[in-house]
């Protein structure tokens, strides 16, 4: 079996190289800014049993050469298990090596960004539940957990969608992972296309303020960057003296500790649930995957290393490389394992959720962003629009399109927002728990919870807008 695992990952490496080559040669893929891992996953899907294998079978019959695709069943089996494993590494490394300010300091500097991002995410749940209740269940007899797929696929992206396959399967919604992966693909493509269109529209309408602005102090917001300055490097050399271990291996060890901390948190929550409300028959924590806990574990490791004076041993560049490689594995293997038959058999559900998700994101952005952001509303809102329809990288890409020199300070606000955002939604704890919550409590109760949270964040936004209005009035006087 180990040999199959070895060759399964050799194939992933070759597919990523092929994805890079295809992207270099195909202009429309470059214009969509699709990552090489998505291109590689698409190539793996094409060369698998569902497309190449189906073509070979239709020509030569069952059992002919390539009737099962280019990859053996053992390799495909390794791939099918990989997303749920490697997504833990991605989330565990997310905050390792980052300078993490106090929550109060972050809130004071990035509050509108937090409100806008949270409102977008909770609105995806509300829209998904309403669409499921009104359209999907009456017309398509859909599984109620379909209501969570917009947020899982759009906010969570390919990594979260692939990583939650096991949870969705345990809840009896095996086709959910394939639908979520399809939605993630629709989200990232539509996010880039609509974001590019909005950026062009904003320039023509004069909404892109950075083109008229001078380079500012970004409202005094320090960059959320890693702690890797000359002083830190000097401390690292001192701490590393006598350590006979490769820095990459050492940092992979820190990621491993973060995953272990996450596992301990997960098991602790399961134990608490078993000893308390779980005795009534209501259980949820057993269905929550490990990766949101691994994210919390990473934060704890970072804080602990700072307290011990050992944080210089964490090399942010290496932890990001580890996370990047793991994310590539997640995306390639998840897309390679997607079932086209399942998506085709649930095409109505897939299209309704896609249209509803895209419509909510765009309409909310156009209506709410000019109101919640006192200045640079398009620059500050478009990053969250991109993230809500793809991944964080999509948001940064769209932000760079309208503000390449970061005159608005939107990048720092967007980065700081993640500390209030990622642990909860967009692949965080609630994203992971939502399918189990729907299965246990039903759609109506979950609608009340998510709608209540949406109203809460809109209320916080209203208070921020009033404070800003009073401040502007005081300045005018």
Which of 448, 441, 451 minimizes the C-alpha distance to 277?
Answer: 441
Q: What is the pLDDT of residue 222?
A: 39
| pLDDT for position 221 | 39
Residue 346 has which token pair?
């649930």
pLDDT for res 137: 96
Q: Which two tokens stand for residue 271?
A: 């134990």
| 76 contact partners, CB below 8 Å, separation of at least 6 | 48, 49, 69, 336, 337
pLDDT for the residue 218: 39
pLDDT of residue 301: 94
Q: Within 13 Å, how many C-alpha atoms sit on residue 289's CB side?
A: 30
- In this prediction, the residues of the chain whose per-residue pLDDT falls under 70 are 32-33, 211-229, 282, 287, 390-393, 397, 415, 474-477
Give the integer Cα–Cα distance in Å for 50 and 178.
14
What local confidence, expressed as pLDDT, does residue 240 receive?
A: 76
**pLDDT for the residue numbered 138:** 96
User: What pLDDT does 224 receive?
Assistant: 45
Cβ distance 199 to 205 under 8 Å?
no
Residue 179: predicted pLDDT: 92
pTM: 0.77
Q: Give 388-401 pLDDT, tens digit per residue.
A: 886 666 777 688 77
């Amino acid at each position: 079996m180990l040999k199959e695992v070895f060759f399964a990952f050799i194939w992933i490496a070759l597919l990523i190289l092929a994805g890079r080559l295809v992207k270099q040669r195909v202009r429309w893929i470059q214009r969509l800014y699709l990552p090489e891992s998505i291109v590689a996953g698409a190539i793996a899907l094409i060369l698998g049993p569902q497309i190449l294998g189906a073509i070979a079978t239709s020509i030569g019959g069952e059992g002919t050469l390539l009737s099962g695709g280019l990859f053996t069943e053992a390799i495909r089996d390794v791939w099918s298990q990989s997303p749920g494993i490697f997504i833990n590494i991605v989330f565990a490394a997310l905050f390792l090596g980052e300078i993490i300010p106090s929550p109060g300091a972050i809130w004071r500097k990035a509050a509108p960004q937090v409100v806008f991002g949270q409102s977008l995410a909770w609105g995806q749940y509300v829209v998904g539940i309403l669409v499921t209740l009104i359209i999907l269940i009456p017309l398509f007899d859909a599984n109620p957990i379909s209501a969570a797929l917009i947020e899982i696929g759009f906010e969570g992206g390919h990594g979260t969608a692939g990583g939650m396959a096991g949870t969705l399967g345990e809840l009896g919604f095996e086709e959910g992972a394939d639908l979520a992966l399809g939605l993630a693909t629709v989200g990232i493509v539509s996010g880039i296309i609509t974001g590019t269109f909005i950026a062009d529209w904003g320039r023509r309408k004069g909404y892109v303020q950075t083109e008229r602005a001078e380079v500012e102090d970004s409202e005094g917001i320090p960059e959320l960057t890693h702690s890797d300055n000359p002083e830190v490097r000097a401390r690292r050399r001192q701490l590393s003296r006598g350590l006979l271990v490769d820095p990459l291996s050492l940092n992979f060890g820190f990621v491993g500790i973060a995953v272990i901390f996450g596992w301990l948190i997960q098991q602790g929550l399961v134990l608490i649930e078993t000893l308390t409300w779980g005795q009534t028959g209501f259980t949820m924590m057993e269905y929550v995957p490990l990766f949101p806990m691994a994210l919390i574990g990473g934060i704890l490791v970072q804080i602990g290393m700072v307290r011990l004076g050992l944080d210089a041993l964490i090399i942010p560049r290496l932890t990001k490389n580890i996370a990047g490689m793991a994310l590539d594995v997640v995306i390639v293997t998840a897309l390679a394992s997607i079932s086209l038959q399942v998506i085709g058999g649930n095409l109505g559900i897939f299209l309704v959720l896609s249209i509803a998700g895209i419509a909510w994101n765009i309409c909310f952005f156009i209506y709410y962003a000019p109101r919640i952001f006192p200045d640079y509303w398009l620059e500050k809102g478009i990053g969250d629009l991109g993230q809500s329809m793809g991944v964080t990288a999509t948001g940064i890409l769209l932000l760079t399109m309208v503000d390449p020199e970061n005159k608005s300070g939107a990048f720092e606000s967007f980065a700081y927002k993640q500390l209030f955002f990622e642990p909860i939604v967009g692949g965080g704890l609630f994203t992971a728990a939502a399918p189990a919550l729907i299965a246990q409590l039903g759609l109506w109760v979950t609608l009340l919870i998510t709608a209540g949270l949406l109203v809460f964040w809109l209320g916080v936004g209203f208070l921020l807008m009033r404070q800003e209005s009073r401040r502007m009035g005081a300045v005018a006087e």
